Amino acid sequence: MVGAMNGSAIAASGLRKAYKDKVVLDGIDLDVRAGTIFALLGPNGAGKTTTVNVLTTLLAPDTGKVVVAGHDVVAETKKVRAAIGVTGQFASVDDLLTGEENLLLMADLLHLPKAEGERIARRLLERFELSEAAGKPAASYSGGMRRKLDLAMTLVGEPRIIFLDEPTTGLDPRSRRTMWEIIRGLVAGGTTIFLTTQYLEEADQLADRIAVLDQGRIVAEGTADQLKRQIPGSHVRLRFADRHALDVAAQVLPTSTRDEEELTLRVPGDGGVRSLRALLDRLDQHSIDVEELSVHTPDLDDVFLALTGHANKTKEVNAR
Amino acid sequence: MNVISDSATMLRRNFRHTMRNPLTLFNGIVMPVFLMFLMVYVFGGAFSVGVDYADYATPGLILTTICYGIAPTAIAVNSDMTNGFINRLRVMDVSRAAVLNAHVIATMLRSLLAIALVVGVAFLMGFRPSAGLPEWLGVVGVVVLAVLAISWLTVAFGLAAKAPESAGMAAVPLMLLPFLSSAFVPADKMGPGVRQFAEYQPFTPIIETVRGLLAGTPSASSAVMAVAWCAGLALIGYLWARKSFTKQG
C-alpha cells in the first residue's frame, strides 16, 4: 500500500524506450511522493507523452522498472490500472454522447451499480459546473468544457493517482485557471497528480516537484525554487548610442556582460522597481545616456537554454 | 464475465451513435437503391444475362450494400483511436474484445438492416426469387458471413489508419470491387485480364452462391469458395484489428 503522504506513488528507474532506431526515452528516473503534484516539463517531442504512456501501462518500456501505486506496470498491469486515471493530451470524450451519457458510460464500464453511477455523474457535473450542459452532446462544448468533462470522466473511478497529459494546452487563460483550481482541489483530497506541461508557469503554479525533460532525458529536477536558482534570473538590457557610452557604463556596472556588436549591456537583477531605480540613479550619477532599456524575466526559453544548452524548439515551430 | 457486459455497454453506445447520426444509415441505403434503379431501369435492358435483370442484379446489390455502409464504421473506429478514447478504455481495463465486438456487431446490424431494405426495394422493382425456405436460410447464412468478414476488415482498417479521413477512404476499394465481379455482368462477358480478376476475386463466388440459392439452383463449388473467402477475410480482419488495437504510435 502507498502511504498517505510519505510513500512513493510512482517510481521509475532506468526507463528506456525506442521506436526502431529513434530513442525516445533515454534512461528516465522518477520518484513521485503520494499526495503531491509532480510536473514533467518539456517541449513538444521531449518524450512527455511516451513517459505517460509507459507509466499508465499503455506502452511497455524496453528496459527499466516502473512501479505505480505499489505495483509493477508490466507484471501487474491490472492492479496498476485499478489505481490510476488518465486524461490524455486530447480531450477524449465521445462527441455524439451528452456530457451525462459520457459519465454514465464510464460508470457502466467500471461496473458501478446504476444508482451509484447516476449519483457520481450528477455530483461531478455539479462540481465542474457542467450541470446545465449535461444534456447536450459533447460536440457542442467549448474547449474548456471538454477538458473538464474529460477529467470528470477520469474521476468516475475515483483513482488514487491521476495522470494529466498537457491538461491546459490550447485553453484560454480563464479556462486554464479553472483547470488549475480543479487540480489543486484534487490534491487537497489526497490524490497524487502527475502532469506534463510545456508551460513553466503551470509547473510553477501547481507542482511540488518539477522534472525537466529534454530529448528523452531528465536534465533537471527539484522544486520550482530550486530550478529557478539554476536558470539565469531577470536582467535589464541597456542599449547605448556609441562605443564610448558602452565602455563607461561597463566600468560603472561591473556585474554586467557586454555585447560589442549590439552595443548592449546585460545587467543581472531581480527585475523589481527598486533595483531598476537604483540602476538608473547610478547611470545618472555618471551622466551616461541610455538609448533603450528593457527588463527581461526568465521564461521557459531561458530555462531550456540554461539547462539544455539549446532553445525550446516548440516556439520555433509555432513561429513558422 | 465482464467481456459480455462491457460489450453490451459499448454496443449501446454505438447504437446511440447511429440514432444520433441517422444520415450514416440513410447514405448506406440510398446509394445501393439508386444503383439498383440505374442497373435495372437504365443499363439492365442492354445487358443480356439470360434471366430477368432484377433477379440477376439483386445478389450483387446485397454485397454492394454492405460495402456502401461501412465507411462510418471505419471513421468512428479511427476517431476513437486517434482522439485517445481507446486509450482511455484500455487504462480502464475494458477488454479489447468488448470494444471491437461492439463495433463489429453494430456494423453488422446496420448492414443487415440496410440489406433488408434494399431487398425490399428489389422486390418492388420486379425481383422474383424462386428460393424456398432452406435456400433463403442459406442466403442469410452466406450474407451474414460476408457481413462479418467485411465488418472485421473495416474495423481493422479504422484502427490502422492514421486519420479519420484516410479511414473513410478504406471503403472505396470495397465499393469498387463489386463492379469488377459478376455482380452486374457475368464475368465471362468481360475483357481478358478483367475477366480473370472477376473470376478469382472473393465477391464473385459469394455473389454466385447467393444467386444460385435465390434461383433455386445452388452451386456447391461456389458455396465452398464463398465460405472459405469469408472465413479467411474475417480471420485476417480479426487478427489485424487485435494487433492494431494494442499498438501505440
Per residue in A287-315, pLDDT (tens digit) is 888 999 888 776 656 666 677 666 554 44
What is the interface size between A and B, counted as CB pairs within 8 Å?
59
pLDDT at B50: 76
Is residue B207 within 8 A of residue B182, CB to CB? The reply is: yes
- Whole-number mean pLDDT of chain A? 87
Q: Does the residue A122 lie in any domain?
A: no
Contact B16/A59, CB-based, under 8 Å?
no
Q: Does the residue A131 lie in any domain?
A: no
Q: What is the mean pLDDT of residues A261-274?
A: 82
Bridge partner list, A161: A84, A192
The residue written with cell numbers 483550481 in the block is A181
Closest CB to A92: pick one of B2, B13, B88: B88
Do residues A37 and A158 share a domain?
Answer: yes
**Using one digit for the tens of pLDDT, what is the confidence trace for B71-86?**
889 999 999 888 889 8
pLDDT at B248: 53
If one counts every other C-beta atom within 10 angstroms of the C-beta of residue B242, the result is 17
Residues of A with CB below 8 A from B91's CB? 56-58, 81, 84-86
Q: Does the residue A254 lie in any domain?
A: yes
Q: Does the residue A320 lie in any domain?
A: no
Closest CB to B9: pick one of A57, A86, A105: A105
Report the distance separating Cα B131 and Cα B211, nearest Å.
Answer: 10
Closest CB to A92: pick one of B9, B20, B83: B83
User: Residue B75 sits in which domain range?
Assistant: 2-246
Contact A89/B84, CB-based, under 8 Å?
yes
Residues of A with CB below 8 A from B75's CB? none
Report the distance separating Cα B152 and Cα B168, nearest Å.
Answer: 15
Q: What percent of chain B has pLDDT over 90?
A: 48
Residues of B with CB below 8 A from A110's CB? 92
Between B11 and B21, the higher pLDDT residue: B11
Which range has the worst mean pLDDT, A190-194, B6-10, B153-157, B243-247?
B243-247
pLDDT value at B187 more than 90: no
Q: How confident is the model at residue A316 (pLDDT cuts 50, 70, 90)?
A: very low
Closest CB to B248: pick one of A58, A90, A91: A58
Do residues A76 and A167 share a domain?
Answer: yes
User: Residue A199 sits in which domain range?
Assistant: 8-93+141-230
pLDDT at A315: 40
Do residues A187 and A201 share a domain?
Answer: yes
Where a domain ends, among A192, A207, A230?
Answer: A230
A207: nearest Cα among A6, A41, A96, A69: A41
Q: What is the mean pLDDT of residues A39-60?
A: 91
Output the CA torsion B237→B240→B241→B242 (10° steps). 120
Q: How far is A110 from chain B (nearest CA, A)?
A: 8
Contact B20/A137, CB-based, under 8 Å?
yes
pLDDT at A300: 57
Do residues A31 and A176 share a domain?
Answer: yes
pLDDT at A318: 37
Segments in chain A forming alpha helices (H): 48-55, 77-83, 99-109, 114-127, 143-155, 173-188, 200-206, 224-230, 243-252, 273-285, 300-308, 313-319
Closest CB to A109: pick one of B20, B87, B94: B94
Buried b (16+ CB within 10 A) or exposed e, A133-165: bbeebbeebeebbbbbbbbbbbbbbebbbbbbb
Q: What is the mean pLDDT of residues A167-189?
A: 91
Full DSSP string of A152-217 = HHHHTT--SEEEEESTTTT--HHHHHHHHHHHHHHHHTT-EEEEEES-HHHHHHH-SEEEEEETTE
pLDDT value at B249 more than 60: no
Q: What is the mean pLDDT of residues B187-211?
A: 89
Do residues A216 and A150 share a domain?
Answer: yes
Do residues A190 and A153 share a domain?
Answer: yes
pLDDT at A314: 44
Contact B92/A59, CB-based, under 8 Å?
no
Residue ranges of B 184-203 with Cβ closer than 8 A to chain A: none
Where a domain ends, among A200, A230, A260?
Answer: A230
Q: What is the mean pLDDT of residues A128-138?
A: 95
pLDDT at B62: 93
What is the number of structural domains in chain A?
Answer: 2
Asked if the C-beta of B102 comes within 8 angstroms of chain A's C-beta atoms, the answer is no
Do residues A210 and A241 share a domain?
Answer: no
Q: How confident is the model at residue B9 (pLDDT cuts 50, 70, 90)?
A: very high
pLDDT at A44: 83
Do residues A239 and A272 share a domain?
Answer: yes
What is the number of structural domains in chain B?
Answer: 1
Measured over the CA atoms of residue B41, residue B43, residue B47 and residue B53, the dihedral's sign is negative
Q: Which residues of A touch B (CB under 8 A)?
A: 53, 56-59, 78, 81-82, 84-86, 88-94, 96-97, 101, 105-106, 108-111, 137, 153-154, 157
Do residues A256 and A216 share a domain?
Answer: no
Between B27 and A167, the higher pLDDT residue: A167
Nearest-by-CA chain A residue for B245: A58
Where a domain ends, among A230, A246, A279?
Answer: A230
Q: Does the residue A129 lie in any domain?
A: no
pLDDT at A299: 63
pTM equals 0.81
Measured CA distances, B140 to A119, B59, B115 (Å): 45, 11, 11
Q: Report the residue count for chain A.
A: 320
Do residues A62 and A147 share a domain?
Answer: yes
Do residues A268 and A201 share a domain?
Answer: no
Report the distance separating Cα B108 and Cα B127, nearest Å.
Answer: 24
Residues of A with CB below 8 A from B247's CB? none
State residue A234 phi and psi, 5-degree precision. -65, 155
pLDDT value at A5 more than 60: no
For an interface test with A, give the residue of B73, B88, B101, B247 to mutate (most A CBs within 10 A).
B88
Contact B91/A92, CB-based, under 8 Å?
no
pLDDT at A201: 84
pLDDT value at B203 more than 80: yes
Nearest-by-CA chain B residue for A56: B91
Greatest mean pLDDT range, A116-125, B195-204, B237-246: A116-125
CATH code of residue A263: 3.30.70
Between B192 and B148, the higher pLDDT residue: B148
**Beta strands A192-197 and A22-33, pairing class:** unpaired
Report the distance separating Cα B143 and Cα B135, nearest Å.
Answer: 12
